[in-house]
């Protein structure tokens, strides 16, 4: 199997070219072809000599994966299916000593909205966090995506040149694959990379505290936290991760950072009828977030099989929103997008894995 150049940092590409006996300046040219011009093959790097291209192609490839499936919603939302090769957990090796992999698939969702086009990207195949209301969580964990897998989602979608924003909110918990996600963010935000402002990027997490601290220290991107319930025992019943990383500790950490300027923090709150949608919850949520410059997004729950709760009715969501707003917490009901193609929040599962559900 060839080594992918996509996802490498300039210093790593320099090591590659020096190892291959090519001039040092070739590294800069390759970086430009990969991240500015977004080519799909080494052959397209036309300012490299033919010899250099042939030499590189013996061991390396660009590594952009094309999408293998596409579903379009009546509201313009598009869901892309990407095949991925995931290293088998447990350090398995093939007989030739290369890491054993298995085929899987992940999804990315492009959400158009007036002059914006937001790409919701996946960072893992499956997820080990096991949230009870989530289709991805149900399928278990298959493995981490590589930087090339994640960057392919940006490069291969039809709207690649029109993307204005991204959210790490697809399949997987991005802070459970943090080193790779951080590498992708570095490539997205560097001048030598995509040149995006950090303000265009939001990472959504359930609150993996050690890596959340790193993310807040090491990037200037926005944060979204999946909160869903202000009461620890009730949150734990839906989100086993609450045992390891209590939402109160997550908030204590977040309060140490400045969200009064360009950087924003929001809290995702999926509404389950009769479970987390009454006055008691609204008031406890307001107390939990009191004094924090933030926004709460109320999310419509999309019914999934073998799960006891439905989505709260719209009037209940509106009362909940108004109560929070009166307590001083900016709250909106998020418009649901792509429901007809199973692209809405919590519905991503990956075609490949559907037969297992
Ligand atoms: Fe994983 Fe997020 Fe689903 Fe929880 S909601 S299981 S963290 S993908």
What confidence tens digit (pLDDT) does each residue in 19-61 have?
999 999 999 999 999 999 999 999 999 999 999 999 999 999 9
Measured between alpha carbons, how far is 155 from 83 in angstroms, rounded to an integer? 14
Residues with CB under 6 A from ligand 1: 127, 129-131, 134, 136-137, 171-173, 206, 226
Measured between alpha carbons, how far is 251 from 267 in angstroms, rounded to an integer? 11
| Coil vs helix vs strand at 200 | helix
Active-site annotation holds for 134: no
What is the reported pLDDT for 347?
A: 67
Q: Which residues of the chain have pLDDT under 70?
A: 341, 343-347, 349-357
What is the reported pLDDT for 345?
A: 56
Question: 322 CA to middle of ligand 1, Å?
Answer: 27
Measured between alpha carbons, how far is 29 from 36 in angstroms, rounded to an integer? 10
Question: 258 CA to middle of ligand 1, Å?
Answer: 26
Q: What is the DSSP letter of 99?
A: B
> Which atom number of ligand 1 is nearest to the Cα of residue 127?
1
Catalytic residue selected from 127, 131, 294, 345: 345
Active-site annotation holds for 345: yes
Strand 141-144 relative to strand 124-126, pairing: antiparallel
Given a contact cutoff of 8 angstroms between Cβ atoms, the answer to whether 238 and 271 are in contact is no
Question: 50 CA to middle of ligand 1, Å?
Answer: 46
Measured between alpha carbons, how far is 324 from 308 in angstroms, rounded to an integer? 26
What is the reported pLDDT for 353?
A: 47
What is the reported pLDDT for 25?
A: 97
The two structure tokens encoding residue 77? 């939302």
Specify whether the backbone of 349 is left (phi greater than 0), alpha (psi in -120 to 50) or beta.
alpha
Helix and strand counts by DSSP (H, E) for the chain: 12, 14
What is the reported pLDDT for 230?
A: 98
Catalytic residue selected from 14, 107, 173, 268: 107
Single pTM value for the model: 0.94
What is the reported pLDDT for 350?
A: 63
Measured between alpha carbons, how far is 148 from 151 in angstroms, rounded to an integer? 5
């Amino acid at each position: 199997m060839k080594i992918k150049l996509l996802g490498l940092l300039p210093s790593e590409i320099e090591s590659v070219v020096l190892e291959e006996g090519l001039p040092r300046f070739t590294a800069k040219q390759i970086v430009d072809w990969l991240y500015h011009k977004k080519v799909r093959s080494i052959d397209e790097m036309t300012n490299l000599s033919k010899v250099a291209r042939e030499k590189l192609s013996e061991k390396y490839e660009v590594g952009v994966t094309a999408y293998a499936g596409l579903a379009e919603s009546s509201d313009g939302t598009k869901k892309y299916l990407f095949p991925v090769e995931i290293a088998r957990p447990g350090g398995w090796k093939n007989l030739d000593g290369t890491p054993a992999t298995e085929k899987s698939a992940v999804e990315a969702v492009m959400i158009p909205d007036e002059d914006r086009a937001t790409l919701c990207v996946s960072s893992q195949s499956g997820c080990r966090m096991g949230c009870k209301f989530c289709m991805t969580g149900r399928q278990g964990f298959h493995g981490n995506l590589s930087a090339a897998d994640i960057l392919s989602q940006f490069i291969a979608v039809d709207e690649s040149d029109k993307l204005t924003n991204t959210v790490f909110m697809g399949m997987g918990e991005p802070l459970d694959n943090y080193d790779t996600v951080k590498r992708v963010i570095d490539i997205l935000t560097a001048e030598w990379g995509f040149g995006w402002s950090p303000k265009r990027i939001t990472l959504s997490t359930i609150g993996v505290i050690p890596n959340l601290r790193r993310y807040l220290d090491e990037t200037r991107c926005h944060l979204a936290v999946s909160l869903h319930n202000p009461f620890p025992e009730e949150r734990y019943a839906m989100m086993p991760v609450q045992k390891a990383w209590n939402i109160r500790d997550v908030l204590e950490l977040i309060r140490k950072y400045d969200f009064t300027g360009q950087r924003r923090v929001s809290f995702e709150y999926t509404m389950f009828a009769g479970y987390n949608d009454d006055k008691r919850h609204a008031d406890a949520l307001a107390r939990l977030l009191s004094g924090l410059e933030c926004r709460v997004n109320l999310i419509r729950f999309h019914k999934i099989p073998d799960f006891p709760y439905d989505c709260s009715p719209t009037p209940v969501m509106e009362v909940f929103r108004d109560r929070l707003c009166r307590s001083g917490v900016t709250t909106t009901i998020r418009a649901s997008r792509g429901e007809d193609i199973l692209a809405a929040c919590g519905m991503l599962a990956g075609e490949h894995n559907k037969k297992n559900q």
